[in-house]
Amino acid sequence: MGLRLLVMKFGGSCLTDGDSILRAAELVRDAFNRGDGIVAVVSAMKGVTDRLLNMVEGSLRGEDVREEIESLRADHVEATRRAVGDVEVRGEVERIVTTTISELERVLTAIGYLEEVTPRSRDYILSFGERLSTPILWGAIRSQGLKASWMTGGEAGIVTDSNFGEARPLMENTRLRVEAKLKPLLEKGIIPVVTGFIGEDLDRVVTTLGRGGSDYTATLIGEVLGADEIYLWTDVEGLMTADPRIVPEARIIEEISFEEAVEMAVFGAKRMHPRALVPAMRAGIPVVIKSLRRPEVRGTRITGEVKIGEGVVKAVTLVRGVGLLNVQGLRMIGMPGVAGRVCQLLGRKGINIFMISQSVSEANISLMISKDRLYQAESLIENALLGTGLISDVYVEEDVCVVAVVGAGMRGTPGVAARVFKAVASRGINVRMIAQGSSELNISFVVKEEDGEEAVRAIHQEFNLSGKT
Amino acid sequence: MGFGVVGRALARLLLEEGERLAKRRGFRPIVVGVADSLGAAYDEGGLDMLEVLGAKERYGTVSKSSSGVRGMTGLELLGTVYADVVVEVTPTNLGDGEPGLTHIREALKSGMSVVTSNKGPLALAMPALMELARHRGAVLRFSGTVGGGTPVLDYGRRLSAGDYIEGVEGILNGTTNYILTRMTEGLEFQEALREAQERGYAERDPSMDLEGLDSACKLVIMANYVLGLKATLRDVEVKGIGGVTREEVAEAYHRDYAVKLVASIREDKLKVEPREVPRRSPLCVWGVLNAVTFKCRRLGEQTVVGRGAGGVETALSIIRDLAEVKRNLSGSLGGWA
Ligand SMILES: NC(=O)c1ccc[n+]([C@@H]2O[C@H](COP(=O)([O-])OP(=O)(O)OC[C@H]3O[C@@H](n4cnc5c(N)ncnc54)[C@H](OP(=O)(O)O)[C@@H]3O)[C@@H](O)[C@H]2O)c1
């Protein structure tokens, strides 16, 4: 084993074709030749997971999806040709791709017959994306003259509960198995190439890790093996001070703390799920986000240290796809139980509440919820509480968005909130709601959807996040 | 699983005490399967244990009894008969924990509770096994692994539920304590060891005891169960009594100290090493006795002293655990008691 141990995860967004897989293999090779031990974690190639889901839907409707399957096969064979130089290895990978595809075909046919897909078989089908991409990177790495061994997340030792679609790892069993499986390989200088996103339950049935997916696989393995660094290779050059489509002068954040990154992930940094950061945070292992296309760019380094010197505000994000659920009640005053009931009802249905605000004087609770669950939430509350005399009205507002200002330096720096709201007000934007009780690492508030981008620009400028003087 | 010293002592105890247990405590364990290294015997309606004991004595294996199957492994037995609880008492193996580790893992995986005196699987994988039990709503108990018949683990756990335990020190291995005691009385190490073996205190291969590994296993179990640490054997710094000389022991004695193989946890660090203990300290016990001192923040030091393990003591602790499992199952409290 090398002096350092790196986990390198290649995200689906950057695995677009054979050339990108070849680039990934070269990065692994370079790191290995520097003397580092490497574990590679691989996502499905770009768009493949969605294609698989479409095939499931198609099969359920009784459609013939053979054409889609064939094009999936062709794409992976083509990627193999470009990524794997060694003829013999290429043959091996192509055979794996072919067998895997015929297995997929069988499962989809079965679904067509049964006209039903269980969460369990959905997870199984989703796993094919990674099971197709991973052998290609494995072949590409071996073509570079290195020793490698590919395996599914389950085979690597990730054990989960049987909560299909969003399985949670049994940490201690995972720790034991992953160590037993990967350590001996690493000691022999073999590079484990592991499918991201998937694990298996105690009965060895394939599960998927759901949100956080492959990043989560990488940080889990990193934690368990005590890695020195975890690299998340993707199609962006790092986390940015704001979405560059909104703020053209936005720039890459070079260093950020876990706490701040989690806030950013919660509030809209779409490519990362906060839960994926937890294992790395727990173990204090730095996570580096880098671009596969431009590896020379430093990217963003997420660490346990908080550097406040860089300015109080690190980033400003815009969360769309959310809506407000307003619950109004005559008798809510002095009845704090209602807020609890509402949260409990939504929680039981797995509806996440991003923000909550309760104004006692107006006898009103406002909840920020994902837009696709908004109407479900409304009827849930309506059915349970309207007519009980507790509340008088429930209604939704769809045309809203959340602006979140993130930075550890806000803690203990007076006047930041005032500056934020002044900047927004100066552009004539009305703030609809301010989050209560959120951490001191962020200030988040709700504005009309059409005002969102302008609010982001206002704050970006106020705190000079582009770094211009 | 396993029908050696402990397994047989348990069988006999159940035969002798069965009626009393049923009457007094409403607790009537029925043995539906037994495995040893050569085969197994099973009967879902309950084995005739007198007959099984007889077969083991006469032919060396339970598979020669009337319900026996030659060559059936413990794992196969687990897949064949349903049991509420699996008692795992195969030999301790600190290499890979087998066969006990597989027995315990498979039992918990299928939702059966487990009672064991086998330290190997726990020392190597206790956090994972506890997690498994919790996940499957089964109970895992192991009070016979530390302190023999003295319920020292539960004593410590009770303490830590109220007070905060800052450290633990213990003399956890009867064999080495006997040897060190006899060395204090003037014997050379080799003589003391031979005597311990003759008296049946030490195994024919005493290396696990002498190298401190037995104490280390017990310390790991204590760290997990009492202090809630997630430790395994690898986290223990171990030194055995091999290097201790008679002169050292005598010299310490004259200063009112005694050399003991002390297992300790301090600031979450696990350590086993020969160390001097003041002779007046309650921890300073002699012969095959064991002692554990819990250092509590508010209650101060609490020391439990007891006889080390033997077959009967261990079998008793297993009955205690079985009763505990029953209590848990009838209260349908899943998880880890
Ligand atoms: N004895 C004590 O005082 C004491 C105290 C505390 C803890 N313990 C622990 O309790 C456990 C049992 O101790 P013990 O003294 O009873 O040991 P033992 O006398 O050596 O008995 C071990 C039993 O396990 C059986 N066995 C071995 N391999 C097996 C396999 N693969 N499948 C099924 N059965 C297998 C043996 O079969 P055969 O009969 O065919 O050989 C034997 O019946 C050990 O882990 C020990 O460390 C013992």
- Superfamily of A326-396 according to CATH: VC0802-like (3.30.2130.10)
CB contact under 8 A, B132 and A176: no
* Segments forming the whole domain that contains residue B180: 152-307
Residue B147 CB less than 6 A away from ligand 1: no
Residue B37 CB less than 6 A away from ligand 1: yes
User: Between B119-136 and B213-225, two packed helices, what is the crossing angle to 10 degrees?
Assistant: 20
Query: For chain B, what is the domain count?
Result: 2
Q: Are residues B157 and B284 in the same domain?
A: yes
pLDDT at B232: 94
Does B242 reside within a domain?
yes
Question: B199 CA distance to ligand 1 centroid (A)?
Answer: 20
B130 in contact with chain A, both atoms CB, cutoff 8 A: yes
DSSP string, B35-66: E-SSEEEE-TT---HHHHHHHHHHHS-GGGST
Residues of chain B with pLDDT under 70: 331-337
B86 in contact with chain A, both atoms CB, cutoff 8 A: no
Side-chain-side CA neighbours of residue B155 (13 Å): 20
- Which amino acid is it at A292? L
Residue B75 CB less than 6 A away from ligand 1: no
Find, in chain A, the residue whose alpha carbon is nearest to that of B106: A202
Residue A152 near residue A195 (C-beta atoms within 8 A): yes
Count of A-B CB contacts under 8 Å: 23
Number of Cβ within 10 Å of residue A428's Cβ equals 8
Q: Are residues B65 and B91 in the same domain?
A: yes
Q: Are residues B47 and B96 in the same domain?
A: yes
Residue A163 near residue A180 (C-beta atoms within 8 A): no
SS3 percent helix, strand, coil of chain A, rounded to 5, is 45, 20, 35
Which residue's structure tokens are 């049935």?
A205
Q: Which strand ranges, in their side-by-side order, compose the sheet holding A442-448?
A: A315-319, A400-406, A442-448, A431-434
pLDDT at B51: 97
User: For a pocket test of ligand 1, which of B8, B12, B117 has the largest count of ligand atoms closer than 8 A to its C-beta?
Assistant: B117
Does B188 reside within a domain?
yes
Q: Which of B56, B218, B271, B326 is catalytic?
A: B218
User: Looking at chain A from residue 148 to 207, which residues have their Cβ under 8 Å from any Cβ of chain B?
Assistant: 161, 170-173, 175-176, 202-203
Q: Tell me if residue B326 is catalytic.
A: no
Q: Are residues B194 and B292 in the same domain?
A: yes
Q: Are residues B316 and B240 in the same domain?
A: no
Q: Are residues B299 and B322 in the same domain?
A: no
> Hey, do A5-235 and A326-396 end up sharing a CATH topology, with the first three levels equal?
no
Alpha carbon distance A93, A71 (integer Å): 17
Tokens of A29: 């090779």
* CA quadruple A302, A304, A307, A312: dihedral sign: positive
User: Between A119-143 and A87-114, two packed helices, what is the crossing angle to 10 degrees?
Assistant: 170
Q: How far is B230 from chain A (nearest CA, A)?
A: 9
Phi-psi category of residue A300: left, alpha or beta, with phi > 0 → left and psi -120 to 50 → alpha:
beta
Cα–chain-centroid distance for residue A362?
37
Name which of B125, B135, B136 is nearest A176 (Cβ-Cβ): B125
pLDDT at B335: 42
The CATH number that applies at residue B239 is 3.30.360.10
Which residue's structure tokens are 């413990």?
B74
Alpha carbon distance A59, A62 (integer Å): 5
Residue B35 CB less than 6 A away from ligand 1: yes
Alpha helices in A402-465 (DSSP H): 416-425, 452-462
Give the nearest ligand 1 atom to B2 CA: 24
Q: Are residues B129 and B180 in the same domain?
A: no
Q: Are residues B99 and B13 in the same domain?
A: yes
ipTM for the predicted complex comes to 0.73
Residue extents of the structural domains in chain A: 5-235, 326-396
Question: B121 CA distance to ligand 1 centroid (A)?
Answer: 13
Q: Are residues B119 and B168 in the same domain?
A: no
Number of alpha helices (DSSP H) and beta strands (DSSP E) in chain B? 12, 12
Does B51 reside within a domain?
yes
Q: Are residues B170 and B258 in the same domain?
A: yes
Q: Are residues B156 and B302 in the same domain?
A: yes
Does B335 reside within a domain?
no
Residue B2 CB less than 6 A away from ligand 1: yes
Does B334 reside within a domain?
no
CB contact under 8 A, B230 and A172: yes
Domain A5-235 bears CATH identifier 3.40.1160.10: yes
pLDDT at B21: 87
Q: What is the mean pLDDT of each run of 10 residues along chain A (469 residues)?
A: 85 95 97 95 96 94 93 97 96 97 94 87 95 98 97 97 93 96 96 97 93 91 97 92 92 91 76 87 95 94 77 88 85 65 87 79 80 90 81 90 89 85 94 73 90 95 84
Q: Are residues B85 and B10 in the same domain?
A: yes
Tokens of B147: 């302190």
Q: Which of A463, A464, A406, A391 has its CA nearest to residue A439?
A: A406
pLDDT at B337: 39
